[in-house]
A and B are shown apart, each in its own frame.
Chain A
């Protein structure tokens, strides 16, 4: 493994020297972010190669308005909120699910199946599944919605906050940050949507898109491929994760997503409204849509004073450039979403320390 790393490292050095100017590569996957920090990858890269942590952590990009809806439902005695553990501490306008946990109607689940089981076990209450995540977790939500429909588990519903990666990349490049030179594309998401999904970014914006796995050697080889392309003045689509990712992706998973969901405009924390970026349950599954069942809607969140998570997510600043970072905003008492999730850029920066 070290041989491969050394080879890639020296190729990166050569390419970056040839390019001369600063290169900004954005990863849009929380698992990449954590692996990059944990393995100290930045410390072995040349100075003019900058890695930016984009909107790749599902917790971070979940809007405050969505959390407020969840909190509103958590206050109802006739509801049980089932959620993945990492959503527990995400702050809404007033508090987080953690503060409601004492009421005992907030249950942490490890899978959407567990949430559906909760509904079967508690026929007298409505179980709301807090359905967040990118294309990796969406199929699992779709499966339980179909199951609930087939079994008529009518006290089950989901609050879909599922997000799509490609529309976010598009918005970043066209509206937020023109200085992103290339994307290191997420392995897990690509396994579902196929690396072909990034072709539009490569074609429209002339940015290299390279899919990589999560082992340090895979990340470094992915970065190496990007540097090679940039130094040759090319922008190509490439998957370095061929064991897992195909061009077309997981067709069965895509089918079930399509069957249950349709893309609508949605709010992303720190980024704002992104067209066609959020998944809503289709009408035929409307009875399992918590928004419809309770007649509630997501309001766009108010800005948190001083919090620069939006700029962090867009790759415009690095976490320590935010005035709150490490002072009033820490993993113990997070203010911005990027500090809440362990996969958030600020939390990773705080936990694994400054780069050398």
Chain B
């Protein structure tokens, strides 16, 4: 009994919180469950039982190690929900259930855990997706950096939707739902060693509502992808590599906030390679491009949607080329991925 009383007074995570005993049970019932309540989770079984309406599902997983844990526009909890939901969304499915697992360093403040959990609950609610099962592990101080989260998710594939690189053909248009680089530049600007004042805000947002609306109301969508790590440059290069077609984009048409551009210039980053957490590109047939654009622009997460380029024929080797502001051309390379560690 004394044990339980002490638990509720702990303001930091102890190794014993992951030990499977009373402390852990207490942590789950007092801190984790309240914000996430749903039938499947409340059973606290070893597995969640789900009754799905469709035989075809999408299934994905992702881990979140972002630093700092809280940033302008979001936090690791919101990111852990949005990131996995967005992977399901761009695959052409409607997200229905998530798992939630924590790895927490000994000494982590429970108050912060509560804040992260509240954010997870709120984001999941907003999307209409349930957290159905989870796990908590604790590790010695130094064995993890404060808190890491893993989420896995299941989405029901939308009927009749077939997306894939193989659908992409020459002439298809590339649409993005808004400005690029916001998330990555926000994170880097809030890192301890940089800390410059800015109005940057992460674009971290759940995209499933908009992707489902697009897929339900237009035909001609060939492929969708959220340009997270590696940014737009990585996503477009993946398209070129996988299709052996080439991609041409126009710098003037790519939406970028001036503050993001200024910060990237100052720090020597190419915005095209900077991570996004609330953006996706759509590769769509030219006939459906305008529909896609107007549906997006009527949605809060697609107000600044734009056609940024096309799929073109490959001359020597598949590549991504950008027409610069001055009408020059250069190649957009696959970023080599060392510039920004731990952005998501």
Contact = CB atoms under 8 A, between A and B. Distances in A.
A331 B324 contact: no
B9 interface: no
Interface in B269-292: 270
B155 to A, nearest CB: 35
Interface in A17-63: 34, 37-44
Given A343-B268, A351-B270, A41 B336 contact: no
B326 A217 contact: yes
27 contacts: A38-B270, A39-B324, A39-B328, A40-B322, A40-B324, A41-B326, A41-B328, A43-B329, A43-B330, A44-B326, A44-B327, A86-B268, A109-B193, A110-B193, A110-B194, A110-B196, A216-B326, A216-B328, A331-B338, A332-B336, A342-B268, A351-B333, A352-B331, A352-B333, A353-B319, A353-B332, A355-B330
B34 to A, nearest CB: 39
A343 B319 CA distance: 23
Contacts of B333: 350-353
Contacts, number: 67
Q: What 6 A-B pairs have minimum CB-CB distances, sorted nearest first?
A: A353-B331, A40-B328, A40-B330, A40-B324, A43-B328, A216-B326
A200 B216 CA distance: 70
Contacts of A342: 268
A2 interface: yes
Given A330-B336, A342-B268, A351-B270, A37 B326 contact: no
Contacts of B268: 34, 86, 342-343
A352 B334 CA distance: 10
Interface in A320-356: 330-332, 342-343, 350-356
A149 interface: no
A73 interface: no
B6 interface: no
Interface of A: 1-2, 5, 34, 37-44, 85-86, 107-110, 216-217, 220, 330-332, 342-343, 350-356
Interface of B: 193-194, 196, 268, 270, 319, 322-333, 336, 338
A85 B333 CA distance: 23
A38 B233 CA distance: 13
B145 to A, nearest CB: 14
Given A2-B326, A44-B326, 17 more contacts: A1-B325, A34-B268, A38-B330, A39-B326, A40-B324, A41-B326, A44-B327, A44-B328, A108-B193, A216-B324, A216-B326, A332-B338, A343-B268, A353-B332, A353-B333, A355-B330, A356-B329
Contact of B326 (A40, A331, A353): A40
Contacts of B326: 1-2, 5, 39-41, 44, 216-217, 220
B331 A354 contact: yes
B16 to A, nearest CB: 29
Q: Count chain B CB atoms within 10 A of each CB in A34, A43, A110, A332 and give the residue with the most.
A: A43
B281 to A, nearest CB: 21
A355 B321 CA distance: 11
Nearest to A353: B331
